[in-house]
Amino acid sequence: MPADTTAINKLMDRFDDHPSVWLFGYGSLIFKADFPFVEKRPALIRNWTRRFWQGSYDHRGTHTAPGRVVTLIREAEAICEGMAYLITPQIFEHLDYREKNGYLRLSTEIIFEDGTNAEGVVYIATAENTAFLGPASELDIARQIAASSGPSGHNKEYLTGLATALRALGKKDAHVFGIEQHLIALDN
């Protein structure tokens, strides 16, 4: 799959004729909603787990020194908590560009804290994209994050922004918080 997934995502027209659609955010979309939305609500999706396995060449790193950002990995019985935004389909043009580095727009069931659900969209970077870095130890991921910076800022800001946003929502994520602890130890 090409590194730039903008054209591929434009083919996902399932919600184009809807007046609005729910978007599930699990990474920077939780703490950096740089797009207009009608409503936002804490939510979750099932059978996916958040992992810092995606390389960032365009935002939190460069081609020679990629940063690490989160994607979702299929895992039976897993729950990934985040934030859902009700948006109009026109916002996908902005989001497709923002998430162009290997992320694909996929349909998913989004479950809200009150138990209701809705079909919506999530961006996931699969192992088939050229920026996928795959698993590494939390310490090695922290080292890479500590050394990476790109056009959107230092990779540490992404990790700490995500960890802070999850805490503000009252959510726990052992992977994110474990990497954060390693990063803190590296800074001391």
Give the catalytic positions in this structure.
Answer: 99
Rounded to an integer, what distance in angstroms lies between the CA atom of residue 129 and that of residue 150? 20
Max CA pair span of the chain:
52
Q: Is beta strand 153-154 parallel, antiparallel or unpaired with respect to 117-125?
A: unpaired
Q: What contacts 120, CB < 8 A, 6 or more positions away?
A: 21, 22, 23, 24, 84, 107, 108, 109, 110
- On whether the CB atoms of residues 92 and 123 are closer than 8 A, the answer is no
DSSP assigned state of 123: E
Q: What contacts 28, CB < 8 A, 6 or more positions away?
A: 69, 158, 161, 162
C-alpha separations of 55 from 125, 139, 146 in Å:
10, 16, 14
Give the angle subtended at the CA of 92 by the CAs of 153 and 112, to the nearest 5°. Answer: 90
